[in-house]
Structure 1
Amino acid sequence: MRAFTNRTNRNRTTRKLALAGALAAAGLLLTACGTDDGMSGMDHGGMSASSSATASASAAPGADSAPGDFNDADVMFAQMMIPHHEQALEMAKLADGRAEDSEVKKLVTAIEQAQDPEIQKMKAWLKGWGKPESAGHGGHGMGGMMSDQDMKDLAATKGEAFDRKFAELMIAHHEGAVAMAKDEQQSGSNATAKKLADDVVRTQSAEVAQLKKILDRL
């Protein structure tokens, strides 16, 4: 009876040890899988977070930055559009105390609000690209630029005469800007610069149409 009891106890002990061993092995296997998955998950998660941060930085650059590749067309677009915009602002300043038509005055304000920030953006691009603000184009290729005499003639007018002359000169000026922007759309490679070119084509084409209507009623 005692021998039977001993054998029974030994059998129970053996079964317990076997069960414990099986559970331990299963635990190790699960831990290993969990470790692989966990590490893999952390690795993938880390890479995804890093990639997302990089993508977000690229997708939402600073207002004055132009990240990514650029080519000569992008550089020329900025170098030429800066003085072109600056002259538009000079023309707009002449409207103060000279313009009479309310629609002309509103258009002058719109030009100032749009083009001054764009000048600052393009200057920042060129600085970031390591390029000078001016490459000595001498006005070549900048359509619609006013001569010194044009500016003097505009400054010498007032009231309706100013409104008419301003509209005539600004139409030509805007059309020149649109032509340069279309060149950038076709030949540029920098996404930010091309986006600005899109904006120039859209806004200034609309303003040309508005200026023509103003001329028709003056």
Structure 2
Amino acid sequence: MRAFTHRTNRTNRTPRKLALAGVLAAAGLLLTACGTDDGMSGMDHGGTSATSSASTSASAPAAPGADSAPGDFNDADVMFAQMMIPHHEQALEMAKLADGRAEDPEVKKLVAAIEQAQDPEIQKMKAWLKGWGKPESAGHGSGHGMAGMMSDQDMKDLAAAKGKAFDRKFAELMIAHHDGAVAMAKDEQKSGGNATAKKLADDVVRTQSAEVAQLKKILDRL
């Protein structure tokens, strides 16, 4: 009788243990599933964030890098940028005077071309100098001593002209101005060391030489 009772108790405890083990196992699976979901969720978000950050960091330098001049540079490159910036700026001042003063359609078209080309070039050269750790100015003051630069009186005379007189004056002054820029660009072609700066010098020689030829034709018919 005692032996039978002992077996009965063991038999009764076994289903309870199995049931309890089943409950614990189910609870463990549930917790594991929840933990896995949370973990995967965290990984997904983390992965997306990392990808986004990588894309941003990779693309962010693209805007300022667009105007950079990578590679080695020398004093001629620096001087070219420092001198051409005020030279271009004066050309833009001359172009602005055409508004309300110029009469000839070809002069007006040329003015628009000068503004479209030279303002972006100024921004490029400023970016180069910043990247090279050099100042925008080399102490040239107003720049009137540079080749082709107009004097204050030249600018006053141009501002005082109107109609055909303005067109003629503008053409005369811009020819001299462009000739000075072309001479500076040729110096860069010869002595510069930075490929990007020399490429801009090539563009200046090509475009401004063509504009000089056009301005001379305009003068011939005015």
8 Å CA contact 1:142, 1:180 repeated in 2: no
8 Å CA contact 1:70, 1:188 repeated in 2: yes
8 Å CA contact 2:144, 2:150 repeated in 1: no
Shift of 1:78: 0.1
Per-residue CA distance 1:156-204 (angstroms, 9 max, x = gap): 0000000000000000000000000000000000000000000000000
SS in structure 2 at match of 1:61: helix
SS in structure 1 at match of 2:65: coil
Per-residue CA distance 1:5-25 (angstroms, 9 max, x = gap): 999999999999999999999
Unaligned ranges ≥5, structure 1:
none
Distance 1:150 1:56, change over 3 A: same
Of 199-208 and 132-141, the range deviating more from structure 2: 132-141
TM value normalised by structure 2: 0.71
8 Å CA contact 2:84, 2:181 repeated in 1: yes
Of 7-16 and 135-144, the range deviating more from structure 2: 7-16
Shift of 1:142: 2.0
Match of 2:125 among 122, 127, 131: 122
Shift of 1:62: 3.7
Residue correspondences, number? 218
Distance 1:136 1:3, change over 3 A: same
Q: Output the CA distance in 1 between the equivalents of 2:49 and 2:192.
A: 31
Q: Output the CA distance in 1 between the equivalents of 2:100 and 2:120.
A: 24
Shift of 1:137: 2.5
Unaligned ranges ≥5, structure 2:
none
8 Å CA contact 2:150, 2:177 repeated in 1: yes
Q: Output the CA distance in 1 between the equivalents of 2:172 and 2:69.
A: 34
Of 149-158 and 134-143, the range deviating more from structure 2: 134-143
TM value normalised by structure 1: 0.72
Shift of 1:102: 0.1
8 Å CA contact 2:144, 2:151 repeated in 1: no
CA RMSD of aligned residues (A): 6.9
SS in structure 1 at match of 2:145: coil
Q: Output the CA distance in 2 between the equivalents of 1:103 and 1:172.
A: 18
Q: Output the CA distance in 2 between the equivalents of 1:105 and 1:94.
A: 11
Where do residues 97-136 of structure 1 align in structure 2 (5 Å cutoff)? 97-136=100-139
Q: Output the CA distance in 1 between the equivalents of 2:74 and 2:44.
A: 37
Shift of 1:63: 2.7
Q: Output the CA distance in 2 between the equivalents of 1:72 and 1:36.
A: 62
Which protein is bigger by CA-based radius of gyration? Answer: 2
